[in-house]
Structure 1
Amino acid sequence: MESFTVRAPLWRWQSATSPGAWHFVTIAGEAADGIRLAAIGGQWLNGRGGFGSAKVRAAIGNTVWTTSIFPHRESGGWLLPVKAAVRKAEGLAEGDAVTVTVSL
């Protein structure tokens, strides 16, 4: 099982037309390249979903969950959505530096 660990800020996105918001960590740099190579090499092929997403196991602190990461055109990396239950369990807020590990 290949895994990638990054430390990046937690950021918030909100639509101009919707009251709800999403929180993400951007996975960029060498980790993003490694994920892309694993996906291209077929290692993650069975876990690919819509919009070019890849299904992963994510871990922040003591919280582990299954989710999908999505290609992020602006950074050339991947977006990891961080749901409210994870943020609450780990005491995270927008702007906090987060260490996250994603694996297949």
Structure 2
Amino acid sequence: APVNPWYPCPWFTRDYGFFSPTPMNWLENDRLDIAKGSEIHLMYRVIVHRGDSVAARIAELHARYAEVFAQHGHKASWYDVIQEKGADRLLLKPFLESARLGAAK
């Protein structure tokens, strides 16, 4: 998410299907100091689709994700966000439409 430190972070992938965001693998000065009792929150959204990113509307989905979560910060859960009027339409409908189009191919 755009609110994550080190955004955008590299992703670690392997040819056998493993993939993971790895923001702490490339830290500045090779370290991260977190004060005792403090927290760090990282949010990610994964969209699996068939075909190219334009057909899957990835840029649009990312823009909507960033817009909604920017209003809530790291303490919002998906459940909290979609309870708000219109948030379900902003986040879920385009995602489901993209999934439907991908499945139809």
TM range (shorter): under 0.3
Q: What is the TM-score with the length of structure 1 in the denominator?
A: 0.27
Higher RCO, 1 or 2 (CA under 8 Å, sep at least 6)?
Answer: 1
Higher share in helix: 2
Q: What is the TM-score with the length of structure 2 in the denominator?
A: 0.26
Higher share in strand: 1
The structure number with the bigger radius of gyration is 2
